[in-house]
Structure 1
Amino acid sequence: MDPRHELDLIESRRQFFTGGGLRLGALALAALTAQGTARAVGATSPQMNPPLEGFPNFAPRAKSIIYLHLNGGPSQIDTWDYKPGLNDYFDQDLPESIRKGQRITTMTSGQSRLPVAPSKFKFARHGECGRWVSELLPHTAKCVDDIALVKSVHTNAINHDPACTFVMTGSEVPGKASLGSWLAYGLGSESNDLPAFVVLTPSWSSTASAQALFTRMWSSGFLPTRFNGVALRSSGDPVLYLPNPPGVTRQDRRQMLDSLAVLNRHRHQQIGDPEIQTRIAQYEMAFRMQNSVPELTNWSSETESTLDMYGPDVHKPGTFAASALLARRLVERGVRVVQLLHRGWDQHGNIAHDLPAQCRDVDQATGALLQDLKQRGLLESTLVVCGGEFGRTVYCQGGLTRENYGRDHHPRCFPMWMAGGGAQGGVSVGETDEFSYNITERPVHINDFNATVLKCLGINHERFTFPFQGLDQRLTGVEPAHVIDELLS
């Protein structure tokens, strides 16, 4: 037999058992790639990214989500968890009755002391709910009556990469699907011209070391790769090679892709590789993005008052402010998930300079995003989530003065908040001890928080599964997770 044709006759056991479903998928994709012809005759385009059958499980409060991830672990003691009594413990060793033998990182395990470092920043009450908020977040503080705060989130990981992987995938072990990919898989997208899941990685101002952002934070893991997050570049063109080369018209490109789709579908029928489906869908989406992305990133339709609300950095591509406005424009156009990952929050030292710089990056734009969504009637259908991968220690890392200090990693308690679709604004869940070290009331595991996010989007997390490695995998893990009903309206 000619070895060039032998592969055509090979069908693995897995391909045999899954071939029926895959070939049905190919038929669906054939319909999608034929939309260019359909549009030419005036037909209505079907939904390119439909939800799974039966999803959402019940009427959702939110149709989309904007997830603001503050990568590095923001200090809760200096932002949301007000502990005025710490001033009485300045420079005293953290009591062993509080630490209770908890492991510490190698960055502070060699210190002879663990001196308590009170926050140098002032706090004040805000909103009708009377929530204490740091002076570093004046714009976000104006929105506290729309924010549901959890002060008692905890995680298993003490280092950045496994902690970030845990927050985004429900597991410290790489290879699992991210929250955004789960939602793109289950709920699809209302947009035919933009991806269901978009990732933005804005610049940061802190001089602190910035942890790497691994693509597993927006990876589809074991799900088909077409549910990967699509990362838009923070500088230059949002997407490389977006324009057609000189001499290639849009009609030429359409004909090329239609012909290529025929070849890909034929190959898929031969060998049953599901990634061929992804290739067809990606080519089609890239074609559509040639028109949609330039319009998306053009601020000319925005009013001066809106731009002013986000602050001067909104005019600088790649900043958090520009990314926040872009996030609003994306959900406005039917994108299901937008993820902003802002780096530079790993403040082991020099909090006096680095933390205010980071807060200036995000505070005005975050407040503006909530206000902008609200005045457009989008906040009711958009869930905004904000948080890091863990918190910071009450004890100081390195030298301690009243004016400056650093903090190490602390996974035992840290804050996260949500606002908008389904969240009960003004509520606060969970409490910590006087050192913001241990949880004293209503512990919330990160998988509990993710289960609550899924409920806002109309998904029962226990029923949202995908078979992989002999288990029905879930975003919330195989251990029991519980929705935090107190957060929901």
Structure 2
Amino acid sequence: MTMFSRRQILQSTGAGFGYVAFAGMSTAKAAQEKSSTNPLAPKSPHFEPRAKRVIFLCMQGGPSHVDTFDYKPQLTKDHDKRGKYGGSLLKSPWEFRQRGDSGLWISDLFPNVADHADDMTLIRSMQCDQPVHPNAMTQMHTGTAQFIRPSLGAWTLYGLGTENDSLPGFVSLSPPSGRSGNYGSAFLPAIYGGAKIGRGGRTARLARGGSGESVPDIKNPTLSKSQQRTQVDFIQALNREKLRRDKVQPGVEGVIESYELAFRMQDAMPELMDTSKESAKTLAMYGADGGPTENFGKQCLLARRFAEAGVRFIEVTHGNWDQHFNLSTDHATRAEECDKPIAGLLEDLKQRDMLKDTLVIWGGEFGRTPDAQGGDGRNHNNKGYTTWMAGGGVKGGFSYGATDEHGYESVENKCHIHDWHATILHLLGLDHEQLTYRYAGRDFRLTDVHGNVAKEIIA
């Protein structure tokens, strides 16, 4: 079982402390913006939102669009012919079928997700600037691969606050090791960074009764709640005195906010992560009751519980989809691990009447080439790939954009990662051009000076 100490919780909640050297350059005005009584308090959006929260299903490694959600019959016809850039075209090993009343073409890799085709918008014209994993993943999360910038989740929390001040407003479930910038706050106040729960694609074992899933050491076994409050008050008094002397000290502000949140979390977090009261039927729906789906099923179930508890942004990571070789075997394994859990999440949200205002996003940092690599594999492709959205105000059973006949690059309604970010924020009621933060003498935003909302996908 993965263990979380109280110290780890504080460190995770304060994700972004590593950027204190950068944040120290913030202006006095920015410091004043952070000094509200509760920086996580709910904030009014710019306009009426379609979604209240986001669940981001991050597929690390770049799943192949031409084998999952981008049907290319011409690729099948031209199998083994010379590709556009040399090499041989490789048809998909999986059959595509029309799904639901809408008739969206989805491959047999995702038979359970395909049952929800009528809830989904497939964005088949994605583009990003980076053809390598670390940079593309960073751009997917922050809008840029060149600088340390706040993540999409941090911007969302900064713009809207959270609906439960006893929990982190932004949670990253089992993110890959060494990628803290992808869920960090950068120059935003540290409290807006993501709290990491689990690591390396693993999460704690789900309870099957008894005390449930726990966060060890989140409660002090030797001090009562009132004694802890006295202790925290003393520490905070020292911190506030330092803040008074230094005037502008983002690191200290982050510590103060994180200590208060951690104090509140010791009651809320263990209860939230106790899944012992979930029914056997619910566990089975997510595939969280055993087999290859168990781990990701647990994470998807926790994502629903966090969303239901008022957490604003939840990211769940799954991978590795980087199949330069053994595509037919390894892509099938990856899909088997996550197909049923994702379908279970969508079904559970619908049953709870939450899908209508929960935006579920699926996608990797890029797609893969139509031509073969290593015989049975595909290379990276950032010029055209697929992501999808469901719920949260998007059209159901809808396909947006297109790649060319083989799937090399986007040719219709191109959707750059900046457009993707602008659209997500729009669905949350946030204008990406107005959601700014003053830092180092200029106003920054997630989309920099780019981004157009893909209004055609909005219901």
TM-score range, shorter chain: 0.7 to 0.9
25 and 220 in structure 1: CA distance in 2 versus 1, 3 angstrom threshold: closer
Report the Cα distance in structure 2 between the residues aligned to 1:306 and 1:361, rounded to whole angstroms. Answer: 17
The answer to whether 1:332 aligns with 2:308 is yes
Shift of 1:144: 0.8
Alpha-carbon distance between aligned partners in 2 of 1:122 and 1:87, rounded to the nearest angstrom: 10
CA contact (8 A) 1:170 1:447 kept: yes
Q: Distance in 2 between matches of 1:25 and 1:484?
A: 32
Single out whichever of 462-471 and 141-150 deviates more from structure 2.
462-471
Of 442, 446, 456, the residue aligned with 1:475 is: 446
> 2:94 is matched with which residue: 105, 114, 121?
121
Structure 1 pair 21–133 and aligned structure 2 pair: CA distance change class (3 A):
closer
The answer to whether the Cα contact below 8 Å between 1:313 and 1:319 also exists between their aligned partners in 2 is no
> What is the aligned length?
425
The alpha carbon displacement at 1:21 in A equals 7.2
| TM-score, length basis structure 2 | 0.87
1:178-197 matches, within 5 Å, as 178-197=151-170
Residue 260 of structure 1 aligns to a residue in which SS?
helix
TM-score, normalised to structure 1, is 0.82
Q: Provide the secondary structure at the position in 2 that maps to 1:198.
A: strand
Cα pair distance change 1:21/1:390, threshold 3 Å: closer
Structure 1 CA distance for aligned equivalents of residues 178 and 30 of structure 2 = 35
* 1:264-275 correspondence runs (5 A): 264-272=239-247, 273-275=249-251
SS of structure 2 residue aligned to 1:396: coil
CA 1:184–1:314 in structure 2 vs 1: closer, same or farther (change >3 Å)? farther
CA contact (8 A) 1:77 1:119 kept: yes
Q: Which has the larger radius of gyration?
A: 1
CA offset at residue 239 of structure 1?
4.8
Q: Per the alignment, do residues 16 and 364 of structure 1 end up closer, same or farther by CA in structure 2, a change over 3 Å counting?
A: closer
Per-residue CA distance 1:238-269 (angstroms, 9 max, x = gap): 7563231x422222212111222222222211
Q: 1:251 aligns with which of 226, 247, 265?
A: 226
Deviations 1:36-62 (A, max 9, x none): xxxxxxxxxxxx61245xx30011111
How far apart are the structure 2 equivalents of 1:155 and 1:328?
29
Question: 2:319 matched to which residue of 1?
Answer: 343
Equivalence for 1:294: 270
Letter in 2 for 1:360: E
Q: Which residue of 1 aligns with 2:130?
A: 157
Q: Per-residue displacement from partner, 1:427-452 (whole Å, max 9, x unpaired)?
A: 11011112111222111111101101
For residues 101-145 of structure 1, the C-alpha deviation after alignment (integer angstroms, 9 at most, x for no partner) is xxxxxxxxxxxx511110011111101110111111011000010
Distance 2:344 2:101 in 1: 19
CA distance in 2, matches of 1:463, 1:387: 26
CA distance in 2 between partners of 1:199 and 1:317 (Å): 19
Question: Identity over the aligned pairs, expressed in percent?
Answer: 39
For 1:438-449, list aligned pairs within 5 A. 438-449=409-420
**Bigger CA drift: 345-354 or 299-308?**
299-308
Letter in 1 for 2:60: N
Aligned match of 2:356: 380
1:199 to 172, 181, 196: 172
Cα shift readout 1:249-298 (whole Å, capped 9, x = no counterpart): 22221211122222222221111212222111111111122111211111
Q: Describe the SS at the equivalent of 1:172.
A: coil
Cα 1:378–1:315, aligned 2, differ >3 Å: closer, same or farther? farther
CA distance in 2, matches of 1:133, 1:317: 20
Mapped to 2, the partners of 1:337 and 1:182 lie a distance apart of 10
Aligned to 2:454: 484
Give the aligned CA root-mean-square deviation in angstroms: 2.4
Using a 3 Å threshold, how does the CA distance of structure 1 residues 289 and 164 change in structure 2: closer, same or farther?
same
Structure 2: how far apart are the matches of 1:260 and 1:348? 52
Measure, in 1, the Cα distance between the counterparts of 2:117 and 2:77: 29
Unaligned runs of 5+ in 2: 1-22, 205-212
For 2:352 and 2:55, locate their aligned partners in 1 and report how far apart those are by CA, in whole Å.
Answer: 16
Give distance in 2, aligned partners of 1:197 and 1:286. 14
Matches within 5 A, 1:66-465: 66-95=55-84, 99=85, 114-201=87-174, 214-233=179-198, 234-236=202-204, 239=215, 241-244=217-220, 246-272=221-247, 273-313=249-289, 319-399=295-375, 405-465=376-436
Q: What is the identity, as a one-letter code, of the residue corresponding to 2:438?
A: P
The answer on whether the counterparts of 2:293 and 2:336 sit within 8 Å (CA) in structure 1 is: no
Q: Distance in 1 between matches of 2:28 and 2:185?
A: 21
* Residue ranges of structure 1 left out of the alignment (5+ in a row): 1-13, 33-47, 100-112, 203-210, 400-404
Moved more, 73-82 or 267-276: 267-276
Task: Give distance in 2, aligned partners of 1:59 and 1:220.
Answer: 25
**Most deviating of 316-325 and 433-442:** 316-325
Moved more, 318-327 or 385-394: 318-327
Once the two structures are overlaid, the 10-residue window that deviates more, 175-184 or 292-301, is: 292-301
- Report the Cα offset of residue 314 of structure 1: 6.6
